[in-house]
Structure 1
Amino acid sequence: MEADSTMTSPRILVVDDDAGIRALVAENLGRYGYDVAVAENASAMDRLLEGQAFDLIILDIMMPGEDGLSVCRRIAAADGPPVILLSALGADVDRIIGLEIGADDYLTKPCNPRELLAYVRAVLRRAGRRPADGARADVGRIVEFAGWQLDMMSRFLRRADGVIINLSDGEFSLLRAFVERPGRVLTRDQLLDAARGPDSEAFDRAIDVQISRLRRKLGGDDTILRTVRNEGYMFVPKLARR
């Protein structure tokens, strides 16, 4: 996903000796707008940390060389970024040890990609970073487009003639996702996540219904929300923020 110039995506470092897991985690988080780097062991991680700042580290425990528990302990001692331990060791004692040495959370392999996404968002939220996909941009309070005004704080949508249009929570979440990523094609999965959260079991079709309702409130055509066949939807008009 191409980064929007109006936002700074949280940076995540995935440290795991399994190349397949590194690629899978990086691809999944990248789909949701996170800026992801990977390292195969503690030494590679240290080299990346020397010249770059990260908001979160996802760290495997069972690695050759320095293991993840030792790495986590020294990251915590140095007041480094938050750490999610990712391990095949799922016993309660393993989880307790990981949390006691400074991990912010502990997730057992194999894990559902959406479960990991939820953990990432929760840890970043606790650390004071907003989540990506994404990701809430630091937009101005008032967003103007095609004669409309959207108040991001009060959630008011105002027509050009001054009439306030009421939005449901889901409609507002969708519209916010669009205005934070103008000109991008957003898939149904991305929009479903924005509107309902990562644990939603709603079918993709639910997003089509929400988009239809939102379109009607925005004038009834696709000049604002365009359907991109077999891909998703795109927010078309240019934005002004104040």
Structure 2
Amino acid sequence: MSRASDADSQSRAQQAAALDAEIGQLAPEVILREAMARFPGELALVSSFGAESAVLLHMAAHIDRHLPVVFVDTLRLFPETLAYCDALVARLGLADVRTVGPQRAVMEQADPWHALFRVDPDRCCHLRKVEPLAEALVPFAAWITGRKRYQATTRTTLAAVEADATHIKISPLAAWGAPEITAYMQAHDLPVHPLVAQGYPSIGCAPCTTQVAPGEDPRAGRWRGQGKVECGIHVSAARSG
């Protein structure tokens, strides 16, 4: 890393820490509204249109339905996820949804047998999700995530505002658990992802997502048996100096 980029990374981390101290303990809707005010024209919401995505999307649409929403279609998603995406976009009136993903020609060369997820799941995630999202986020200074502390052991210390090597990341729902998510969805009559009722509390690509048994970690069905719990998007942290 060059001195200039290293300094930028440290400055970004300090900015994130200060913003987290200021707004990190506020209600999710307030955090979201503050994020939009602090980063006008430089903020995007990244959504998987998964099991709990409707909550954050509904909050954002209520404030500004023109907020850019980035959806990564890895080309291996469940058909139910694609249909759910279309349904939520229409229901919430989202006006700027940007679907991105890997080029089919690139994946045919890198993964001709569609089996890369078995032999090198990290590279599969990188090609199908991490790289397309990184490119889509270039125009933005900050982005909104739907992560929550309760979801996995890797997220228990999640801050509402943090930084990675390139962006400020804001997670308005960090402090919420499953009861708050369920209550919000019921209060606003939001549609539930059709796979949730079939035992999928966390939904990614079809080949790498299995059903979860009662009592298991909500993300236990992701990359089951492979010692992998994150796709790679959230594992690059900026140095705080």
Same fold, TM exceeding 0.5?
no
Larger radius of gyration between Structure 1 and Structure 2: 1
| Bigger RCO (CA 8 Å, 6+ sep) | 2
Instruction: Compare the two structures and name the one with the higher helix fraction.
Output: 2
**Could you tell me the TM-score, scaled by structure 2's length?**
0.27
